Amino acid sequence: MLTRAGFRGLGDSKSPSGATVLELLFDIVYVFALARLAGRVADDLTIVRHTLLSEAGQTLLFFAAMWMIWSLNALMSSTYDPRRADLQVVLLATMFGTLVLAVSLPQAFGQRGVIFACTYVLIQVGRPLYLTLALRDHPRSQNMHRVLTWHVISGVLWISGGISGGLGRGIFWTLALAIEVLGSIAGWPVPWLRGKRGSGWATVSYPHLAERYNQFFMIALAEVVLEAGAAVSYPGFSTGRTITLVAAFLAAVALWRIYFYHVAPGRPVTNTLAGEALTLSRWASYSLLLIVGGIICTAVGFGQIIEDPDPPIDWALVVIVFGGPVLFLIGRTYLEQRSSSGPPCRVLLLGALALAVAAPPMVLLPPLASAVSAAVILAAIAAYDGLIHRRGPETNPTL
C-alpha cells in the first residue's frame, strides 16, 4: 500500500536534464507499437477502395491514442523526477499497458475491443489518479484534478465503445479521443475547480523533454530502414529493389539531417513556468505527432514499392510516398518555439510544396520513379537547408 511517505517530495522534485535508462526502456515498447501501426497503414493500401477511408480513420485513431499516452508520460517525466521509485512504477505499469495495446491493435475493432479500451483507460486514468493522490495538499495538485476529470469522462466513452462494437465503437472512441485532445488544447478546464490552470506542471525541464522527443524521433526513423530492409530480405536483391533500398536510405538520412540540423531563429529554452510551459509542450507535441506520422507513411511507402515494383502505381501509394515527407516537413517547421526574434524560416514549407507539385505526375510513371523522386527531393531540401543556414554543429531541436 502506498503511504504518505512514498508520496513525500514529489511536488517539489525536479526532472534531470537528460533522459533516464528506464525511459529508454519504455520507448522499446513503441518500437513494436510503431511497427504495428505501420502494418495497419500497409494493410490500408491493399483493401477495397470503398472501405479505405474508414480503415485509415481507425489507424489514425490508434496512432493518436498511442501518442497521447507517450506524450503525457514524457511531460510527467520532464516535470517531476523520473528516478523516484514511485514514478518508475508508474512508467513500468504504463509500459506494460502499452504493450497490451500494441498486441491488441490488429483486432481492436474486432474481438479485442474491450481489452484495448479497458487497458487504455487504466493507463490514462491511473496516471493522473496517482499524481492526484501523491500531490494532495500540495499547491500543484489542482491541475492533476483537472486532467483526471477529463480522462474519467473520456474513459466512459472508451469503455462504452469497447462494449458496443460495430459502428458504435468507432463513434464512441472518436468522441473519447476528441475529448482528450480538446482537454489538452484548452488546458483541462473544469468549471468547479478554480485557480490558475497549469499549476500541476509548474516547471518543465525543456532539455529533458527535447531529448525525449529526439529519442522518439530516432525510433520512428528506424521504421524506414526496417520496412525497406524487411521488404528486400525475403525476395532478395534485384535492380529495382536495390535502387529503392538506396532511395529509402537516402530519404532516412535526409530526414535525420533536416530534423537535427534545421534551426530557425529563436532562443533556446531551459525551464518555463506554468501556463507557458503547457502551451509550448502542447505545440511541440502536436508537431512531433505530424513528424512521426509522416515518417511512418514514408516507411510504408518505400516498403510497398520494394514489395511490388511493377507498374502501374496506385494513386493511394503515391499519396503515402509523397504525403509522408510533406507531413514531416510541416511538423518539423512548427516544432520550433515561436519567437519574435526573427522572421520564420520557410525553407521546409517550400520543400513540402515541391513534393506536392511533384506527386501528381507519378501516377503515370513506374513505382520506382516515385521512390527515387521523393528521396532526391528530400536530399535536395536537406542540402539547401544546410547551405543557407550554415549552422555548423548538430543541434537538438528546441521546443
pLDDT in tens, the chain (399 residues): 444 444 567 766 788 888 899 999 999 999 999 999 988 888 877 765 556 667 788 899 999 999 999 999 998 898 888 999 999 999 999 999 999 999 999 889 989 999 999 999 999 999 999 998 888 877 677 778 889 999 999 999 999 999 997 888 999 999 999 999 999 888 888 877 665 554 445 577 878 888 888 899 999 999 999 888 888 887 778 888 899 999 999 999 999 999 988 865 444 444 544 445 555 667 778 888 999 999 999 999 999 999 888 888 888 899 999 999 999 999 998 877 554 455 567 889 999 999 999 999 999 999 999 999 999 999 999 999 888 876 555 556 655
Residue 115, burial from CB neighbour count under 10 angstroms (0-12, 13-18, 19+):
middle
DSSP per-residue codes, 197-241: TTGGG-EEEHHHHHHHHHHHHHHHHHHHHHHHHHHHHTT---HHH
Residue-level pLDDT at 230: 87
Last residue of a domain, one of 181, 203, 225: 203
**Dist CA 134 CA 8 (whole Å):** 8
Residue-level pLDDT at 5: 45
**Dist CA 152 CA 157 (whole Å):** 9
Whether 133 and 195 share a structural domain: yes
Q: Is residue 7 part of a domain?
A: no
| 3-state SS, residue 175 | helix
Q: Which residues contact 65 (CB under 8 A, 6 or more apart)?
A: 101, 120, 173, 177
Q: Is the peptide bond before 312 cis (omega within 30 degrees of 0)?
A: yes
Residue-level pLDDT at 245: 93
Whether 311 and 168 share a structural domain: no
Closest to 38 (Cα-Cα) out of 363, 302, 314 = 302
Name the residue type at position 83.
R
Residue-level pLDDT at 267: 44
Whether the CB-CB separation of 329 and 352 falls below 8 Å is answered with yes
Domain span including residue 240: 204-389
The number of domains in the chain is: 2
DSSP per-residue codes, 9-71: TTTT----SS--HHHHHHHHHHHHHHHHHHHHHHHHTTS-GGGHHHHHHHHHHHHHHHHHHHH
Whether 103 and 51 share a structural domain: yes
Q: Is residue 280 part of a domain?
A: yes
Whether 243 and 113 share a structural domain: no
Residue-level pLDDT at 386: 84
Last residue of a domain, one of 140, 171, 203: 203
Whether 189 and 329 share a structural domain: no
Last residue of a domain, one of 203, 219, 239: 203
Q: Is residue 130 part of a domain?
A: yes
Q: Is residue 192 part of a domain?
A: yes
Q: Is residue 269 part of a domain?
A: yes
Which element (helix H / strand E) includes 381? helix 367-389
